[in-house]
């Protein structure tokens, strides 16, 4: 509004400069006023200009100023015509800008300031902006006055099979109409003060972490392996994780699984027909069984590539009898998801009898954002599943990431071939259950029967998930605490163990398991 006043005042001063051009005294007064208010307008406009449209607006305003002034100059000999015409032009300009919302600099800036003042989170799901937990013993009808006042739409957020062991069935998503977003914080407070809501938080959009693609690698295995997979020499992590010793242990001791453990890859989907995955793959729905991004397929190969099939790479399971994987797609076409979709994916995985959830994903942590995740992890644990999560790739404390920092998950940091923390890997030292696995130049499957090297804690995570799947196949009743203690106690100390935790040692973990 200040910029509008400054601009129109300078325009009126210029107009009166033309009107009193015959009087040197009046002309001097209005000339000085014009220069003063024009300078103030320009100063304010330059300070608040944020994009190309702001600068275009300033140019358009100058055009209006001078063309409008010169137009009025033609009527300056008749005050009877000049004054009403000036009034109409000034009022008309103000009406166009403030009512019709012509996109000028001062309108854009006021709108930006307004958004900052109401402090709406940047990336809300436009269809379901809030997650709300209804208090036990209450019904949505008790929130009707709030829902009607703001024209809100609510629907159940999560579907769970075992409602008796979780409160997630009390969660609803709240769709706020666009016109009501200005009342975002008012709506939050109304729900909080209603007495019928236990918890409410933003349902933010999360993006797939960028995974660094590596065109080639000079790191190769030095050991000899009993499996016949032709590209196993590219899986350098097998050397430092003593995987041939694992194969020998399983073979020499005739270790037989008690079940086929199921690993859920909660990600971008999986190419279910990949040559090195399909024999270990089961489908829970065709919508999950393709992958336009490649991230989920890469993780799937690390966790459960078919070993000893004369194709591609191998995994910790030396044959088909130990594990199987399925895909839960939580990322959309453009690589976006939400907290609700991730938790939905976790519940879907657990309700499809997953023994291990492999989650190479995450977002910024807040105290509020952990509540629903925590309940989802509890649900998984109560149904016998273990949740394995990537630490994240920002080289910060993993407590800043969810679900990496949620109690009850095993969080995986990435190391390089020198047993050092990968430069990008987050630090898991302040978490209760942090562990390490290779995450640099990791060779694995990508869609259409192809293979590629990627970097990331996303790649370290399925190594841990694959090992836990193998352990659960041998001892199905293992819980998260017992598994983590075995991984930690049998793990190898890295050069950055204070930041990464110990490096998983598959043969050591299985030996420990067999001795219990």
Closest CA to 436 of 444, 448, 445, 428: 428
- CA 8 centroid distance within chain: 46
- CA-to-CA distance for 363 and 374, rounded, in angstroms? 15
Catalytic site includes residue 295: yes
Q: Do residues 156 and 169 make contact, with C-beta atoms less than 8 angstroms apart?
A: yes
Of 199, 274, 288, 295, the active-site residue reads 295
Catalytic site includes residue 327: no
The single residue listed with the structure tokens 């590629």 is 452
Q: How many C-beta atoms surround the C-beta of residue 67 within 10 A?
A: 10
Q: List b or e across 387-396, with b for residues whose CB sees 16 or more CB atoms inside 10 angstroms.
A: bbbbbbbbee
Of 369, 458, 473, 496, the active-site residue reads 458
Catalytic site includes residue 161: no
- CA-to-CA distance for 120 and 181, rounded, in angstroms? 8
Number of residues assigned to the chain:
516
Supply the DSSP symbol for 386.
Answer: E
Secondary structure element (H or E) that encloses residue 343, with its range: helix 339-351
Which residues lie below 8 Å from residue 212, measured CB to CB, with a gap of 6+? Answer: 424, 454, 455, 456
Of 125, 229, 267, 355, the active-site residue reads 267
The beta strands (E) that lie in 350-466 are given as: 356-359, 363-364, 386-390, 401-402, 410-415, 434-438, 442-446, 450-455
Closest CA to 157 of 356, 336, 376: 376
Q: Do residues 211 and 173 make contact, with C-beta atoms less than 8 angstroms apart?
A: no
**Backbone phi, then psi, for 211, in 5-degree steps?**
-110, 125
Q: Is the dihedral of CA 322, 327, 328, 330 positive or negative?
A: positive
Q: Do residues 284 and 247 make contact, with C-beta atoms less than 8 angstroms apart?
A: no
Secondary structure element (H or E) that encloses residue 35, with its range: helix 24-48
Burial class of residue 101, CB neighbours in 10 A (0-12, 13-18, 19+): exposed
Closest CA to 296 of 275, 317, 327: 327
Q: Do residues 423 and 476 make contact, with C-beta atoms less than 8 angstroms apart?
A: no
C-alpha count within 13 angstroms, C-beta hemisphere, residue 500: 29
- CA-to-CA distance for 53 and 51, rounded, in angstroms? 5
Using DSSP's 3-state secondary structure scheme, residue 286 falls into helix
- CA-to-CA distance for 411 and 343, rounded, in angstroms? 17
Active site residues: 267, 295, 458
């Amino acid at each position: 509004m200040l910029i509008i006043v400054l601009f129109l005042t300078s325009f009126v001063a210029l107009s009166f400069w033309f009107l009193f051009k015959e009087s040197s005294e009046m002309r001097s007064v209005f000339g000085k006023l014009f220069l003063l208010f024009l300078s103030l307008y320009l100063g304010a406009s330059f300070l608040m200009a944020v994009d190309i449209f702001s600068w275009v607006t300033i140019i358009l305003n100058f055009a209006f100023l001078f063309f409008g002034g010169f137009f009025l100059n033609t009527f300056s000999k008749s005050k009877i015509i000049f004054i009403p015409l000036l009034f109409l032009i000034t009022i008309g300009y103000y009406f166009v800008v403030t009512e019709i919302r012509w996109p000028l600099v001062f309108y854009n800036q006021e709108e930006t300031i307004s958004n900052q003042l109401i402090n709406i989170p940047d990336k809300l799901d436009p269809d379901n902006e809030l997650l709300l937990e209804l208090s036990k013993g209450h019904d949505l009808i008790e929130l009707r006055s709030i829902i009607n006042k703001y024209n809100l739409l609510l629907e159940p957020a999560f579907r769970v099979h075992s409602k008796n062991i979780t409160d997630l069935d009390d969660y609803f998503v709240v769709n706020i109409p666009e016109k009501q977003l200005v009342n975002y914080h008012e709506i939050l407070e109304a729900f909080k003060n209603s007495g019928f809501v236990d918890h409410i938080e933003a349902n933010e959009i999360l993006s797939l972490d960028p995974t660094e693609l590596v065109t080639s690698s000079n790191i190769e295995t030095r050991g000899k392996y009993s499996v016949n997979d032709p590209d196993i020499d590219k899986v350098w992590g097998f050397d430092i994780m003593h995987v041939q010793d694992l194969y020998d242990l399983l073979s020499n001791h005739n270790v037989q699984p008690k079940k086929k453990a199921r690993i859920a890859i909660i990600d971008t989907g999986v190419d279910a027909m990949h040559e090195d995955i399909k024999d270990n793959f089961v489908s829970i729905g065709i919508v999950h069984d393709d992958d336009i991004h490649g991230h989920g397929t890469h993780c799937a190969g690390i966790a459960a590539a078919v070993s000893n099939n004369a194709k591609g790479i191998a995994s910790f399971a030396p044959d088909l009898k130990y594990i199987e994987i399925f895909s839960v797609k939580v990322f959309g076409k453009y690589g976006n998801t939400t907290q609700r979709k991730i938790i939905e994916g976790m519940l879907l995985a657990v309700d499809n009898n997953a023994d291990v959830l492999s989650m190479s994903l995450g977002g910024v942590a807040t105290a509020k954002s952990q509540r629903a995740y925590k309940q989802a992890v509890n649900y998984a644990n109560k149904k016998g599943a273990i949740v394995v999560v990537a630490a994240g790739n920002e080289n910060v404390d993993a407590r800043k990431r969810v679900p990496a920092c949620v109690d009850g998950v095993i969080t995986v940091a990435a190391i390089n071939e020198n047993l050092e923390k990968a430069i990008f890997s987050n630090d898991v030292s302040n978490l209760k259950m942090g562990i390490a696995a290779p995450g640099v130049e990791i060779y694995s499957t990508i869609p259409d029967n192809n293979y590629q090297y990627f970097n990331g804690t996303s790649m370290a995570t399925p190594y841990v998930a694959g090992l836990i799947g193998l352990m659960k196949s041998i001892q199905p009743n293992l819980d998260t605490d017992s598994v983590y203690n075995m991984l930690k106690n049998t793990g190898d100390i890295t050069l950055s163990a204070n930041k990464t935790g110990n490096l998983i040692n598959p043969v050591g973990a299985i030996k420990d398991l067999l001795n219990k």
